[in-house]
Amino acid sequence: MKRIALFGLLFLFTLGGIAQETEEVKKAKSEQVAKKKKATEKKITVAKQDQDKKVKQAEKDIAKAKKETEAKISGAKKDLKQNSASEKGQAKSAEGKVKSDANKAEAKAKATKADSKAKVKKTATEEKEDMKETAASKAAEKKVKDKVTGAYKGKKVYTGPKGGKYYINKNGNKTYID
């Protein structure tokens, strides 16, 4: 009987010793968590820096396109000094072409600027918030006959018949803005 009791106590002590985490294991886990946090922070900062570089480049492209168009316009105006009607028409058409080219270049630069801003990863809370849309909110959006006038917190903003602005929340209810 004593043997069984001793064997039982020995068994309990060994399980208790095995079940406890050592300080080394705790330190290793905390170091891994810290490394993961640092890695994600580095990724976020790198993404933000890349976005800033793209935005600056897009702004430089816009400024360059404006300078080029102004130079072309001034050159076209110098040529415009002659008084014949056909030459004036040709100069104006050339000026219009230059302006359209400049507008196209500016639009492309703005598009790349907007794309670079959109490519930045959302945080975990923003992703969860986007996923929270329920079937009720989606069904309510389909039933709304008011005019869509913009966006607020990732939701469509509607304008009602009396001018009130609202969006459909995750529960399918109208939430008024202002």
Residue 123, in any domain of the structure: no
Both 33 and 98 in a single domain? yes
Q: Where are the beta strands (DSSP E) in 13-168?
A: 147-152, 155-159, 165-168
- Please check whether residue 161 lies inside any domain of the structure: yes
113 and 25 both lie in a single domain:
yes
- Print the domain residue range for 152: 131-177
97 and 73 share a domain?
yes
Q: Which residues pair with 165 in a beta bridge?
A: 159, 177
Describe the chain by its helix, strand, coil percentages, rounded to 5. Answer: 70, 10, 20
pLDDT at 58: 87
**Structural domain includes residue 1:** no
- Look at residue 165 in the predicted model and tell me its pLDDT: 93
Record the pTM. Answer: 0.34
pLDDT of 70:
85
Residues of the chain with pLDDT under 70: 17-22, 79-85, 87, 113-144
pLDDT at 12: 83
What pLDDT is stored for residue 25 in this prediction?
A: 74
State pLDDT tens for residues 152-174. 988 999 998 888 999 999 898 99
Which residues are bridge partners to 150 per DSSP?
157
CA-nearest of 55, 73, 49 to 109 is 55
Helices (H) and strands (E) in the chain, counts: 5, 4
